[in-house]
Homo-oligomer: A and B are copies of this chain.
Amino acid sequence: MAEKRRSPCTLSVKAHAFSVEALIGSEKRRKLGEDDTRVCFLEEVTEVLELPSNGGEREERACNRASDRGSEIECVSDGSLESCDVLLESPHPEARAQRAPPVTVTVPGEEMRVDLQGSDLWKRFHEIGTEMIITKAGRRMFPAMRVKISGLDPHQLYYITMDIIPVDNKRYRYVYHSSKWMVAGNADSPVPPRVYIHPDSPASGETWMRQVISFDKLKLTNNELDDQGHIILHSMHKYQPRVHVIHKERGEELSHVRAVPQGDGTRTLSFPETTFTTVTAYQNQQITRLKIDRNPFAKGFRDSGRNRMGLEALVESYAFWRPSLRSLTFEDISGIKQGAPGPHGGVGSPHLLSSSPCSSPFQVWPLSPPDYTCSRPTHTPLHRYSNLPEPFPSPTSRGPSAYDSEGFCSMSLPPSQIVSASTPPYGLYGYAFPPSPRLIASPDKMAAASAAAANQNPFLGSSPSGTLADSLGMLSGGQQANFLFDSRTLGMAGSQSGGGASQVTTHMG
């Protein structure tokens, strides 16, 4: 099966050029793990920013971005064991200084909190320097943005949208020699701004809060003439995704166009760890690896997994095609290893083919953390890299935590843990959330809703799922009957739902 692939055990041509630094990666932080949903005990951080109109460094950099409407919240809080210094980082110090109270609040006392799901994975990428492939036909993001929102008025309607704005006005190029992104000039000319409207929009606050709001259907393209509605970006630029929560005013659906996104009923949220650089082909091998290890659709490029033959068979077949097994080069080893860090360690020769570039003769620790400033628009301190030399986890151990498996270095782990890689990583990350049909942000809007028995008219009666009611606007409550979430309540709720996720709390009317 695996032999069908033309060269399953070799790095790309660019592998000849990658640097040792790039192969090592700044791995650390191994959590008690419970996937992305593990509990966060850290205090949430509230950053309510009011960008007056135009101004500040960012405004000058961002060409096509669609900001400057409503208040913008940036959240960097983190439930992981990472240094809490990060919590106070902000890519926009000038904006943080303006920290302003929320403007007119339609529902006084209501407080909205947003958790970024999969924050840990995002940070793993961010530490390396997240890259997102863009293609003419449109390419999904991985990871995808997933948020969980609290504090909405359950009976009000909201649109939730996402856009992606430039982080600066620079163009970048990746220097293999130094494994760094370097400025390569000014940004290209603006592209048509686009917004991805979450397909469940509009929906009630109740509906939104009940589900993880996923943007995994969103696609990025570099085709400026795209007619598929994908988000158009420039390659080799840095971007920041943003989520917008837009309160739908009753009776205003067909008018007051401009008021919708600009009014106080709109909140804009961004998570600095979700910034990324657009590419048409991955530049950093670590990014490639992490994508392959975590994106289920790239499973074909993992050599671990249940369908894999054992080490012996692999070596045999490999020797069959490449008779000079004994004269394996670094490229050979890396190639084998890159995809097959899994089931071998426990049964075969864990040293010969153990699992990562780290085991290569070139393996070294970086003397200093890589400079990621190019990948972050801020002056963020690099605290997170301070504990780099921690032992790496098993590259493919598939324990209860999705974040325990990375596929990097395994040398410090006993072979038994490596063997556990043979159990496939099904259901990791959000792609296999526990099937809670109504709660998953479905592409279909779960449109078929129970119209509640006991009534001949399917449009009458209560709607257990709420979907029908949401879609048909049959909610009985109104602005007079709002649920009020205060910050204390939400803070407590954080220990139930938002573990490990970036969070933000704000007021919204």
Contact = CB atoms under 8 A, between A and B. Distances in A.
Interface of A: 64-69, 155, 157, 159, 163, 190, 192-199, 201-202, 217-219, 227-231, 246, 248, 250-255, 257-258, 260-262, 437-438, 443-453, 455-460, 465, 467-468, 471-478
Contacts of A458: 66, 163, 193-195, 261
Contact of A471 (B159, B472, B474): B159
A53 B458 CA distance: 16
A229 B197 CA distance: 23
B459 A260 contact: yes
A437 B69 contact: no
Contacts of A445: 197, 199, 445
A459 B217 CA distance: 20
Contacts of A64: 456
A253 B443 contact: no
A391 to B, nearest CB: 42
Contact of A474 (B66, B190, B254, B447): B254
A240 to B, nearest CB: 14
B446 A157 contact: no
A3 to B, nearest CB: 18
Given A194-B450, A230-B448, A260-B473, 17 more contacts: A157-B253, A159-B472, A192-B451, A194-B449, A194-B451, A195-B458, A195-B468, A201-B471, A228-B437, A229-B449, A229-B465, A246-B472, A250-B254, A254-B473, A258-B459, A262-B459, A445-B445
Contacts of A192: 450-453
A448 B260 contact: no
Given A253-B157, A468-B197, A231 B448 contact: yes
| Interface SS, A side | loop
A443 B443 contact: yes
B437 A254 contact: no
Question: Which of A157, A231, A254 is the most central at the interface, judged by chain B CB atoms within 10 Å of its CB?
Answer: A254
A443 B446 CA distance: 10
B250 A447 contact: no
By Cβ-Cβ distance, the 3 closest A-B pairs, closest first, are A253-B473, A261-B459, A66-B458
Contact of A248 (B199, B262, B473): B473
A66 B451 contact: yes
A257 B459 contact: yes
B260 A467 contact: no
Question: Which of A163, A250, A458, A476 is the most central at the interface, judged by chain B CB atoms within 10 Å of its CB?
Answer: A458
A248 B254 CA distance: 12
Question: Which of A251, A447, A456, A460 is the most central at the interface, judged by chain B CB atoms within 10 Å of its CB?
Answer: A447
Nearest to A138: B448
A64 B458 CA distance: 9
A384 B68 CA distance: 65
A253 B254 contact: no
A213 to B, nearest CB: 12
Contact of A227 (B253, B437, B474, B478): B437
Contact of A456 (B65, B219, B250, B471): B65
A444 B218 CA distance: 10
A479 to B, nearest CB: 9
8 contacts: A69-B459, A157-B253, A197-B449, A228-B437, A229-B438, A248-B473, A257-B474, A261-B460
A438 to B, nearest CB: 8
B475 A195 contact: no
Contact of A446 (B163, B229, B253, B478): B229
Nearest to A217: B444
A197 B448 contact: yes
Given A66-B459, A194-B458, A437-B228, A199 B253 contact: no
B443 A444 contact: yes
Contacts of A231: 448
Contacts of A471: 159, 197, 201-202
